[in-house]
Amino acid sequence: MVTLEQVKESTMVQAYMRLGNEYIGTIGAIEHNLNHAEYVSMLSFEILNKLGYSERYAELGAIAGYLHDIGNLVNRYGHGMSGALLAFDTLMEMGMEPAEIAAVMGAIGNHEEHAGGNSVNVIGAALILADKSDVHRSRVRKHEMSAFTPRDRVNYAVTDTNLLIDADNKLISLEIDIDTEVCSVMEYFEIFLTKMLMCRRAAQYLNCEFALLVNRNRLL
């Protein structure tokens, strides 16, 4: 049985993820480094674990979360699909069961908005929620605000983020604090609307309601 630790220890995985983050850095994309991979991996596991899914499903969620951006090695655009194929080769070489590889591939291949952002399985739903909740100014690479894109500015405005799982009440809440001197609440909602709707659909796939609170005001 392939474990998360085995995936993390793979020199090939480490190299692909490091270089992919470097490559997209040349076009000014926000950080997709190992910190992001670790965060999404941990949160994907936590979502599935708290909602009562099996330990193995939770670990597969953690593996998908760790590998989800490996496709940046090929191209930022369409990295979900290229990442799914890279994950296939990696996990098959490690000896993972075909059904488990398929679950991880489906999750990775559908996690980005350009591919529709659809939850095709519970692992994919957890991955979407974990990935889209990692918004923070520390991920912005640019140092001059004059060079920020609208997405840079929204990320930079975020000072704190928490994804809360209330299994008893079937509620998943994303709580975000933003600096309104950098970006207004409505600007955040406008720019990240697609991501937030993906999160709502993902929560629904997990039989939960999704709530978005920005500066303690509920927007969804």
Q: What is the DSSP string of 128-176?
A: HHHHHT---GGG---S-GGG--HHHHHHHHEEEEEEEEETTTTEEEEEE
Question: Does the pLDDT of residue 146 top 90, yes or no?
Answer: no
Token pair of 125 as six digits? 């739903």
Residue 114 pLDDT grade (very low, low, confident, very high; cuts 50, 70, 90)? confident
Question: Does the pLDDT of residue 179 top 90, yes or no?
Answer: yes
Helix residue spans in the chain (DSSP H): 4-9, 11-25, 34-50, 55-67, 79-94, 98-109, 122-132, 150-157, 185-191, 193-205
13-18 average pLDDT score: 97
Structural domains of the chain, ranges and CATH numbers in brackets: 4-218 (1.10.3210)
pLDDT at 15: 97
Q: What are residue 198's DSSP bridge partners?
A: none
161-182 average pLDDT score: 97
Residue 216 pLDDT grade (very low, low, confident, very high; cuts 50, 70, 90)? very high
Question: Does the pLDDT of residue 113 top 90, yes or no?
Answer: no
153-163 average pLDDT score: 95
Q: Could you give the strand order of the β-sheet that contains 158-166, starting from the edge strand earlier in sequence?
A: 158-166, 171-178, 209-214, 217-218
Residue 185, burial from CB neighbour count under 10 angstroms (0-12, 13-18, 19+): middle
Residue 49 pLDDT grade (very low, low, confident, very high; cuts 50, 70, 90)? very high
pLDDT at 90: 97
Question: Does the pLDDT of residue 184 top 90, yes or no?
Answer: yes
CA distances from residue 173 to 163, 197, 213 in whole angstroms, order as listed: 6, 13, 7
Residue 37 pLDDT grade (very low, low, confident, very high; cuts 50, 70, 90)? very high
Ramachandran class of 207: left when φ > 0, alpha when ψ lies in -120 to 50, beta otherwise: left
Mean pLDDT of the chain: 95
Residue 31 pLDDT grade (very low, low, confident, very high; cuts 50, 70, 90)? confident
